[in-house]
Amino acid sequence: MPRPLVLLGLALVLLSSQVVIACGGSDESGEGDSWRIGLEAPLSGDQSVLGEGMLQGAQLAAEQLNSDGGLLGKDVEIVPIDDEADADAGVVAANEAIEAGLDGVVGPYNSGVGIETLPLYIKAGLVPIRLTSDNETDGLGFTLQPMTNQIAPVAGQAMSQWLGAKKVAIVFDQTETYTKNVAAAIRDELESANVEVVAYEAIKPGADSYDAQVKQLAGTDAEVVYAAVYYPEGAKIAKSMLDQNVKAQCLADYASYDTGFVTDAGIEAAMSCPVVGVPAPNDFQGSEPFVEDFQEEFDTAPGTWSPYTYDSVNFLAEAVKETDGFDADALNTFLGKVDGWKGWTGEVTIDPATGNRDPATVVVTSVDKEGNFRVDSEWATAVDAPY
């Protein structure tokens, strides 16, 4: 079987009277003694807590692969790619990483960033294992986490069946692709369930507080306020609703599902605002050894998305082993046929038409007194979910 390497392009650079060739899998010396897998995430800025957990999950997977003999005889090196949760910054960071040499890439997380960076990786001959959730990124590599068309029905059902709401207010981040699209999809789900959307309020991220918007929403007769925003804004909205004693139930979107939501909001406010998300790192069946390994390696609990980047690196590594290399055509063919692969996040089957995981696990989580996310047992009972 052939063992082709994906060439990211040959760049001849005159440096200290030496010619350095940069290509996939090569380090600066051109020795090519490791596989370089990029991890694109918001490693700085407002979402850096989320990004750090992503990076650590990928690093743990690489460490375990290397301690078990590596991948096709080489160590795996995780290359951090900081997109700052910003598309422009992401494009710059992605291009720099591609030029320096990559064999694979995991990420990004933010869909608006991925719309710009994923095509760059694909053009460079890479097969991204993305963490984006907006359906505009369908077909741009493969993903193990849920998509908008899988998230919106769960959120709509939670409000109409679990909370029994007849009137809902939606507040959403108008600057982000995912939050705009998921808000519209959830509005459609609610209206199909004969739930009236009494307010549909767009906000911009970065404000010191959203007290004025919360006060306005509290003036409606909404029974639930759904916050389709990322966790820095979600935390501020949850805290404001608690501080203002808003009678409506707070429910935060998947974009707010991260430990940073709890840290920023405070435990009391986070407890008052369940979050649509995925099972917590210790909620997955058989998660104990993964959690123990993570805590031993980093002396901290896994981040919300650590299991997904851990699985993503191993998912790619499995494909590389089976296809004997990083050839994009071979990897795309293999990954599109995956059925029943198992990792920390459970069993994975890929829809070859989209590269998406199907089915994907979407749940409603609540925060306990220790500040930890858990699958909400009352929600699970109300909608007959297997938790």
Two structure tokens written together for 64:
């375990």
pLDDT at 32 (0 to 100): 77
For tokens 């890929």, name the residue: 350
What pLDDT, on a 0 to 100 scale, did the predictor assign at position 328? 98
* pTM for the whole structure: 0.90
Longest dimension (CA), the chain: 73
148-277+363-383: CATH class: alpha beta
Minimal CA–CA distance to 36: which of 84, 77, 95, 93?
A: 77
**Angle value at C-alpha 364, between 359 and 366, nearest 5 degrees:** 145
The CA distances from residue 378 to 109, 157, 260, 283, 320, in Å, are 29, 13, 24, 16, 42
Q: What is the residue-wise DSSP string for 92-108?
A: HHHHHHHHH--SEEE--
Q: Which two tokens stand for residue 199?
A: 């307010």
Query: Domain-by-domain residue ranges, the chain?
Result: 11-145+284-354, 148-277+363-383
Helix (H) or strand (E) run with residue 77 in it? strand 75-82
* Per-residue pLDDT, 24: 41
* Rounded Cα distance, 195 and 189, in Å: 9
CA distances from 112 to 46, 294, 324 (A): 16, 29, 33
The low-confidence residues of the chain, meaning pLDDT below 50, are 1-30
Fold of 11-145+284-354: Rossmann fold (3.40.50)
Same fold, 11-145+284-354 and 148-277+363-383: yes
Q: Tally Cβ neighbours within 10 Å of residue 148.
A: 24
Q: Is 371 exposed, middle or buried (0-12, 13-18, 19+ CB in 10 A)?
A: middle
* Model pLDDT, residue 9: 35
SS3 88: helix
Distance of CA 288 to the CA centre of its chain: 22
